[in-house]
């Protein structure tokens, strides 16, 4: 029975619960950022410089590489020379560009949120009104100063 109680305390403890909520929110936030990149930013980039798709960039070495004609797509190259070692680095370039754009968007979002928090923190809070006990003690102090 001690194991179950200990597990229950761990699972319901604030840190584990906060972590679970953070992972769930992070997954949803990841979908929002992915949609922002795919649906908002990449079309603008594609309109300016063309569609940045490097997935067909590769070079082949080894047995059968000479059978691949210049300008073949990656899928066609794999079909024509199944035994060749095909170094397909173009997809990595596409993923790296997407990562840099994603990191830039997240950076700007975090910077904006921090600026908003800073603005909220700078507004001074009104001092709390003195309690009745503090008022009574202040009156007693003032009376003692008069004597």
pLDDT of 16-40, one tens digit each?
A: 777 777 888 888 888 887 787 778 8
Q: Is 53 a residue whose pLDDT tops 80?
A: no
Between 31 and 9, the higher pLDDT residue = 31
The residues, any chain, with a CB within 8 Å of residue 53's CB and separated by 6 or more, are: 94
pLDDT of 81-121, one tens digit each?
A: 888 888 888 878 877 877 887 788 778 888 988 888 887 66
Between 65 and 142, the higher pLDDT residue = 142
* Dist CA 81 CA 60 (whole Å): 9
The whole-number pLDDT of residue 132 equals: 87
* Dist CA 69 CA 34 (whole Å): 36
Structure tokens at 80: 């024509």
Structure tokens at 125: 């809070």
Structure tokens at 133: 């006990």
What is the pLDDT averaged over residues 69-83?
Answer: 81
What is the pLDDT averaged over residues 33-48?
Answer: 80
The whole-number pLDDT of residue 66 equals: 80
What is the pLDDT averaged over residues 50-73?
Answer: 78
Model confidence at 14, pLDDT cuts 50, 70, 90, reads low
């Amino acid at each position: 029975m001690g194991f179950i109680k200990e597990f229950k305390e761990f699972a319901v403890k604030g840190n584990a619960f906060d972590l679970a909520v953070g992972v769930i929110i992070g997954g949803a936030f990841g979908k929002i950022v992915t949609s922002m990149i795919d649906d908002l930013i990449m079309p603008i980039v594609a309109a300016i410089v063309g569609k940045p798709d490097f997935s067909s960039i590769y070079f082949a070495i080894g047995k059968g590489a000479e059978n691949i004609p210049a300008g073949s797509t990656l899928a066609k190259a794999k079909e024509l020379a199944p035994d060749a070692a095909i170094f397909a680095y173009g997809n990595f370039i596409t993923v790296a560009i997407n990562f840099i754009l994603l990191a830039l968007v997240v950076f700007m979002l975090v910077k904006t949120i921090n600026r908003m928090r800073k603005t909220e923190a700078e507004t001074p809070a009104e001092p709390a009104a003195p309690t009745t006990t503090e008022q009574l003690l202040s009156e007693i102090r003032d009376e003692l100063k008069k004597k």
